Amino acid sequence: MDEYIQKEIAKAAEVLEMEVSEVEAKWLDICDKNNITADESKLGLSLFRQWFSGMNALKEQDVAPAATGGGGNDFIKEAHGFFISAEAARDMGKWQNDRVKGEYDAAPQATYEAGKVAIVTQVQDGFEAKRMDAEEGEKIGILKELPENNFGVDLDTWIVPLHDRHAWANGDKNPMYGKPLPHAQWMMAGVFVGEVAGETGTYFFSYKGDACKEFTPETFKLVTVPCIKDRNYGNRIYGFKRGTLEGLKYEEDTDKQPSITEMQNYVMEHASGNYSALLNLNRYHTQMQSSGKRSPERFVITDGSVSSINMTPNSFGTRRMTVTDINADFDYEGGSWAGTTCWVPEHQVIDFGIGSSVVVVGRTSQRKNDDGSWGDVSLNVSGILCTENRGVAVEPFEAQEEDLDWF
């Protein structure tokens, strides 16, 4: 594919907050439907830009599929089903920049030579920036302004983290190569089970942009939500600007709500490969780490009985819940396994008490002990279904200052 066209596709994807692969698929679809060859790229670009203008106008107006009459835009689909996982939004831009900064602090020269950072110094005419290019070697240029994602490393000297991937897996050049990483890039991910464009299954959901910070759908609640379906990867769907946020609708008709048993059966029908018993979480974690699967696919579904809840958020804003398998043997003398620690973010509702039975969805995590051995696996929760509610919902503990002058 022509490098100029690649840049157009990358820029369109950035503005529309879509995956590059999805926009590239639309370009190929335009060329195919109009019998456009490589020699007629100008015609293809004209049609592509028309499509982009329409999509951008639609997004700026935050128009959901229902408002387009259903057939006005075949790019946006309605998903009907429920989220079994909805992670909290994260600033992936900050995470990437901090990671590169850490690599530079540890090995400055190697990080620079790998093309991961540009070194910027202030000069009379502005800022001199130099970076390493995989094909052309060291490149030097003058900037009028200092890029936003900079870190000061010395007097009048900064580093700027860069896109360092030269080409994609299919061999196409990365049009963003050598350019600064975004200063901030909010993103949230989830797992949706249901029907999209007439096809039922498990879908990996991704949502970028500021709107995703407000998108916190309740898990295991029947919803209809507008999204964009990836034409290259049928099990991926994406949120778009504020359209997905404002188009989310919960099913209000109680007669249409599936029962708890129906939801459990539906999940196991479409995502049984991600189920693990609590006692097998360590093995499941090890298998996932070496499976080669993409990060969104490495979620786990498990179930058990709630043995403790601490509703007071920690420094990360998560609450602590312990889930046990009541059918497991317990060694009172040997300090046997006492349950799995689950870290529950604030947007996940805990409206049940100790002794309740729950289905938990999340990502496994494992840390090393002080002696170097691996500790038990914990779970970063992104979805909860209470299948049997017992006890009383636990309230957060609020410390109160003692009146020491009472006497």
Residue 239 or residue 372, greater confidence: 239
> Is 176 domain-assigned?
no
pLDDT interval class at 405 (50, 70, 90): low
Q: What is the pLDDT, as a whole number, of residue 69?
A: 36
3-state secondary structure of 238: strand
Residues 6+ apart with CB under 8 A from 259: none
Domain end: 111, 142, 161, which one? 161
Do residues 51 and 98 share a domain?
Answer: no
According to the model, what pLDDT value does residue 263 have? 92
Residues 280 and 326 in one domain: yes
Confidence of residue 320 (pLDDT cuts 50, 70, 90): very high
Structure tokens at 16: 């529309």
Helices of type H across 336-401 = none
Residue 212 resides in a domain: no
180: helix, coil or strand?
A: strand
Same domain, yes or no: 55 and 117? no
Q: What is the pLDDT of residue 70?
A: 36
Q: Would you say residue 400 lies in a domain?
A: no
Residues 384 and 281 in one domain: yes
Per-residue HEC secondary structure of 254-317 comes to HHHCCCHHHHHHHHHHHHHHHECCHHHHHHHHHHHHCCCCCHHHCCEEEEEEEEEEECCCCCCC
- For 386, residues 6+ apart whose C-beta sits below 8 A from its C-beta are 351, 352, 356, 357, 358
Higher pLDDT, 43 or 227: 227
Q: Is residue 402 part of a domain?
A: no
Residue 356 lies in a domain: yes
| Per-residue pLDDT at 65 | 38
**Whole-number percent of the chain with pLDDT over 70:** 87
What is the pLDDT at residue 101?
95
Mean pLDDT of 284-305: 88
Query: Is residue 7 located within the same domain as residue 47?
Result: yes
**Residue 13 reports pLDDT greater than 60:** yes
404 located within any domain: no
- Give the domain-ending residue among 140, 161, 182: 161
- How do residues 125-137 score in pLDDT, each as one tens digit? 889 999 999 889 9
Inform me whether the pLDDT recorded for 294 exceeds 60: yes
Question: Tokens for 384?
Answer: 């909860």
Position 67 confidence tier, pLDDT thresholds 50, 70, 90: very low
Q: Does the predicted model carry a pTM greater than 0.75?
A: no
365 and 280 inside one domain: yes
Q: Within this chain, do residues 123 and 23 fall inside the same structural domain, yes or no?
A: no
Residue 186 has pLDDT above 50, yes or no: yes
Does 308 fall in a domain?
yes
Q: What is the CATH number of the domain that holds 303?
A: 2.40.50.140
- Report yes or no on 288 lying in a domain: yes
Domain total in the chain: 3
* Same domain? 55 vs 106: no
In this structure, the answer to whether residues 105 and 48 fall within a common structural domain is: no
Q: What's the pLDDT tens digit per position in 220-256?
A: 999 999 998 887 788 999 998 888 999 999 988 878 8
- Considering the domain architecture, whether residues 14 and 104 belong to the same structural domain is answered as no
Same domain, 287 and 372: yes
Three-class DSSP category at 157: strand
Q: Containing domain of residue 349, as a range?
A: 275-388
Same domain, 126 and 54: no
